[in-house]
Amino acid sequence: MPDALLPGSTIGIMGGGQLGRMLALAASQLGLKAHIYADDANAPAFDVAAVRTLGDYGDLAAVEAFAASVDVVTCEFENVAAGALEAASRAAPVYPPPLAFAIAQDRLTEKTFLSELGIRVAPFAAVSDAGNLKDALDQVKLPALLKTRRFGYDGKGQALVKTEAEASKALAELQGTPALIEGLIAFSRELSVLVVRGQGGSTQFYDTVENVHQNGILAASRVPARISASVAFEARTIAGQVADALHHVGVLAVEMFHREGAEPSLLVNEIAPRVHNSGHWTLDACLISQFENHVRAIAGWPLGETSRHSDALMTNLIGAEMERWRALAGEEGTALHLYGKAEARPGRKMGHVTRLYPKS
């Protein structure tokens, strides 16, 4: 077992959004301090951090100085540049390992990695320019999704294309941005598995989650998912295989499509090497949340219990939906979480609510 960080140690978190905020709160429960590094002066994680650094992620000297002031570094989002992770690793351990970020940052690299593990994904092909678009479309039948390889989240960086002409137009609009074409999958439901892996390789799983997306943004997560025990076991097996292959440390989310009655029944959509929106229900329905378990893992502590004591439905509050906070705060059986963001823009996650029910 690795040496555990002592209470009073400092966790460095790159990123100041709501995930960083909830990680900082979890660290404080364990007597650990959080130092947030973010490029936004209004970052919501700054409100709950012991130490705050406002800086650019491309300022490698500032990133290295930040890492030198903490005992371990983690990230609340996966698109931290490789140079920043390298700079941080010169001064402190970085978990999850940079390999996990490098793979998750590039959709083509991610799908190739999964395929090489023998894990099924949707049909895909790289699209570098208009010259090889036709070859890609010969491999992936229309309709399909044209996606940028990098910086896509919450439905961004992708377009549904039904004809070759639509694909050509969408590719031209990317103005040379590296892309891939991905086949559409007819699925019964979207699932995610959150696995937490410790520094010594110990692994725990939260119950498989059933997700609903609207306009590319996660709207709600339900647990337990409406799947058989055998499908749940297969989903955990896949997630564990990915975590082991990455030598992951911390929480890893593996998002999947479930095709009821089809073979194979599970296809992996994408991975996220961090705490995840679809695991927010663990704050209220589990003894140890995904956030605390991520902190435990990167700090070298024993992993906590992941079983749930209640069924749960987590619903994101997006944009103006957070204006219902007063009614939601008074709703029986409901836990309200607001992220302290100053402006409720359309498509912006402002908070979430979790409704608890007796465990089925």
CA geometry: angle at 182 spanning 180 and 184, to 5°?
A: 160
Stated pTM of the model: 0.95
- CATH number at 227 reads 3.30.470.20
Domain-ending residue, one of 132, 164, 183: 183
Verify cis geometry, omega within 30 degrees of 0, for the bond prior to 264: yes
8 Å CB contact between 286 and 305: yes
- Residues 346 and 200 both lie in one domain: yes
Asked whether residue 215 falls in the same domain as residue 290, the answer is yes
Cβ-based neighbours of 50, under 8 Å, separated by 6 or more: 10, 24, 28, 33, 34, 35
> Smallest Cα–Cα separation from 78: which of 125, 127, 19, 155?
19
Is 193 within the bounds of a domain?
Answer: yes
Percent composition of the chain: helix, strand, coil (DSSP 3-state, to 5): 30, 30, 40
Closest Cα partner for 265 from 191, 205, 211?
Answer: 191
- Clarify whether residues 160 and 207 are in a common domain: no
222, 333: one domain: yes
In a domain, 23, yes or no: yes
Q: pLDDT band for position 129 (50/70/90)?
A: confident
CATH of the domain at 81: 3.40.50.20
| Residue 138: how many other CB atoms lie within 10 Å | 9
243-277 pLDDT, tens digit per residue, is 999 999 999 999 999 999 999 999 999 999 999 99
Q: How confident is the model at residue 156 (pLDDT cuts 50, 70, 90)?
A: low
Evaluate whether residue 230 is within a structural domain.
yes
Number of domains present in the structure of the chain: 3
- Structural domain contains residue 206: yes
Task: Tell me which residue range forms the domain holding 175.
Answer: 123-183
153 and 245 housed in the same domain: no
Q: Do 17 and 67 lie in a common domain? A: yes
Say whether both 197 and 294 belong to one domain: yes
- The three-class DSSP label of residue 197 is strand
286-338 per-position pLDDT tens digit: 999 999 999 999 999 999 999 999 999 999 999 999 999 999 999 999 999 99
Assess whether 217 and 339 both reside in one domain.
Answer: yes
